Homo-oligomer: A and B are copies of this chain.
Amino acid sequence: MFVRITTDPTRRPNSLRDLGMTSCSNPTVSLSEFSYKKGTEIYGEKEAAEYVYQVKTGAVRSYKLLSDGRRQIGAFHLAGDIFGLENGDSHRFTAEAIVDTTVRLIRRQTLELVADIDPVVANNLLNMTTNNLQHAEDHMLLLGRKTSLERVAAFVLEMDQRLTGAGVIALPMSRRDIADYLGLTLETVSRALSRLHELGIIAFLGTTQRQIVLSDRQKLAIIDLQG
């Protein structure tokens, strides 16, 4: 189940800009790519944080486990998202590819050296961490105080926003993944989606269960009860 990086993934000179960084000095740093098959681990919790990652294609889940196997997914990482950025020197989540996924990597050490010199890069690191913090804060409210229907509505809205906002979403993750993200069981997620379907608020595209149309974004937002 483990897929380790065996070849040193340090080819292809490239720019920090590709990781969403802007910099006045804008030095060329080494970037490379790596692919993970569906279901494989990218890094484990408490493992040394050697790289920072950016999803090129695919999707990734970051989660923590309790000793008896209960799982809490802290975030999904979609195309373009950066993940695995740690300030301490080990990862605080396990990261797995949800589907076949290609990521760009940058050595963490490289990034840190640049950040020490370039205040713009340093500021970008702080911004990314702040964005992660804000997401976690909002998610605490969801996990602590929202009902199952509110959680699922919030999830659909979040995914729509992050996947183009076109009102049609193709979810890469299973009902179980959604459940572990929302602090529910997969059955409860399924029932909530059915309920939203009955209410005419969402629809399923074609024959599949993972393509969802937001028929009534307004009602979704009302159910979500934001703030």
Query: What residues of chain A have their CB less than 8 Å away from a CB belonging to chain B?
Result: 45, 64-68, 70-72, 74, 86-88, 92-93, 116, 119, 122-123, 125-127, 129-130, 132-134, 136-141, 143-146, 180, 182-183, 225-227
Contacts and interface: CB of A to CB of B under 8 A. Distances in A.
Nearest to A65: B227
* A-B pairs with lowest CB-CB distance, top 8: A144-B183, A136-B136, A87-B130, A143-B143, A72-B144, A70-B145, A72-B141, A133-B133
Nearest to A151: B144
A92 to B, nearest CB: 6
11 contacts: A67-B226, A70-B145, A119-B119, A119-B122, A122-B126, A126-B129, A129-B129, A133-B133, A133-B136, A140-B143, A143-B144
Contacts of A129: 126, 129-130, 133
Contacts of A65: 227
Contacts of A125: 126
B92 A137 contact: yes
B74 A140 contact: yes
B87 A126 contact: yes
Contacts of A74: 137, 140-141
A99 to B, nearest CB: 23
A67 B41 CA distance: 39
A15 to B, nearest CB: 22
Nearest to A62: B137
A68 B143 contact: no
Nearest to A71: B145
A68 to B, nearest CB: 7
A173 to B, nearest CB: 16
Given A67-B227, A145-B70, A145-B72, A136 B140 contact: yes
Contacts of A127: 87
Nearest to A63: B141
Contacts of A123: 122
